[in-house]
Structure 1
């Protein structure tokens, strides 16, 4: 909608209002289980994907998908949804194209190498990203971005993977702040650029 791309799940077990994100394990077809980070919406039974375009590209083939919600059946009891989805390549490709997202993105393969802090092994923040609160009517929001870190530590090719609310200008604030952020490397500097990802939460005090 309006160029913003989102993937949403609804009908999940509700979480408390203090919960901002929730991990959900997803198994596509015969692939290995992978944990995806999802953001809790104002509907406490709903969640928005951190990386909606890679998620959508996985859905194109259809087939079996298993969604595992930790503690979804109560403390210590996971809840598993086991679904069989039809292939929907043309429909999903149409949505990706309409929102300016690539049909194939080699950066999808690098997501597994990124830690929960958003950096690959051997990377650390040298100058932390510090966005200013945008001119918006919302008292809170978030944006998730991926960037390519160069060997000199500067960031380039930053993309807002998702933001909420979509019209809150939080992604715009993150992209602007990313121009001044840098990373450093433990040991020798890499000869090739490395992908990174990060989530910025905005809360008006």
Structure 2
């Protein structure tokens, strides 16, 4: 039986409070003062799925799966309607529970729309085998409310494209490492999510999927025509790569 998730789900301190909504939709709560919206579902065995938007910051977290090693874990997701996707997850911990955080939350939240099972399997080359199946609510309107609150689309044609998986460790950073004077972290003044399609080992058709404020993605969109080195052309051709940037106003310290 699914149970309601309190607002503390946003920080992984999940506490059941009452029975799950009878209309079999994702449980939804919001805090307008904090610009926070949460849709969640929890299961008797301790697993939980949490979609959260807070002031434009979108996250999708799965709690209760077996702990996975590494900075990125690739899992194949499958839905009863035939959809399949290889998803990238970042292992993390918080509130005493192991969790996986989506690397591309908008796409992965859309993958969860509609009822039925969500099967997750490690890939054949994974160092550890993991299989899980979670039954999702039949309705998805509350999940859509989280996407809408974060100004993400309910549909995206690029969801049908396979995601890029890079062999080279330094393939995806927007900029190379540079020696700079020390700085103190400052106020965030811009965030952007962009996606590009890889053709002939180059980024093409780069577009802003989300930006705040308007124009925050301008520098990122210059990734068009960027060439990838040391990668498999056939494996990457026609795939989509997702990049995120945060711009801060910083203060230099020292002489």
Q: Which TM bucket (shorter chain)?
A: 0.5 to 0.7
1:129 paired with 2:180, answer no
* Cα offset, 1:90, TM superposition: 1.0
Counterpart CA distance in 2 for 1:145 and 1:159 is: 5
* Offset from partner CA, 1:31-61 (integer Å, 9 cap, x none): 2543211112244821111221122122221
Counterpart CA distance in 2 for 1:149 and 1:33 is: 20
Structure showing the higher strand proportion among its residues: 2
With normalisation by structure 2, the TM-score equals: 0.50
Counterpart CA distance in 1 for 2:239 and 2:221 is: 15
Counterpart CA distance in 1 for 2:106 and 2:146 is: 10
The match for 2:207 is 157
The match for 1:166 is none
Counterpart of 2:98 in 1: which secondary structure? coil
1:146 paired with 2:199, answer no
Alignment of 1:162-181 (within 5 A): 175=217, 177-181=219-223
The structure 2 residue matched to 1:29, chosen from 76, 80, 96, is 80
| Structure 1 vs Structure 2 CA RMSD | 4.4
The match for 1:11 is 64
Greater relative contact order (CA < 8 Å, ≥ 6 in sequence): 1
Counterpart CA distance in 2 for 1:109 and 1:32 is: 9
* Offset from partner CA, 1:125-177 (integer Å, 9 cap, x none): 8xx8317899637xxxxx97413689x9776422369xxxxxxx9xxxx9454
1:61 paired with 2:106, answer no
The structure 2 residue matched to 1:94, chosen from 140, 145, 157, is 145
Counterpart CA distance in 2 for 1:177 and 1:47 is: 30
Counterpart of 2:57 in 1: which secondary structure? coil
Tell me if the contact between 2:194 and 2:207 (Cα under 8 Å) persists in the aligned partners.
no
The match for 2:100 is 47
Counterpart of 1:6 in 2: which secondary structure? strand
Tell me if the contact between 1:62 and 1:88 (Cα under 8 Å) persists in the aligned partners.
yes
With normalisation by structure 1, the TM-score equals: 0.60
Tell me if the contact between 1:149 and 1:183 (Cα under 8 Å) persists in the aligned partners.
no
The structure 1 residue matched to 2:157, chosen from 106, 112, 116, is 106
How many pairs were matched up? 165
The structure number with the bigger radius of gyration is 2
| Gapped regions of structure 1 (runs ≥ 5) | 119-124, 138-142, 162-168, 186-193
Structure 1 residues 147, 35: CA separation in 2 closer, same or farther (over 3 Å shift)? closer
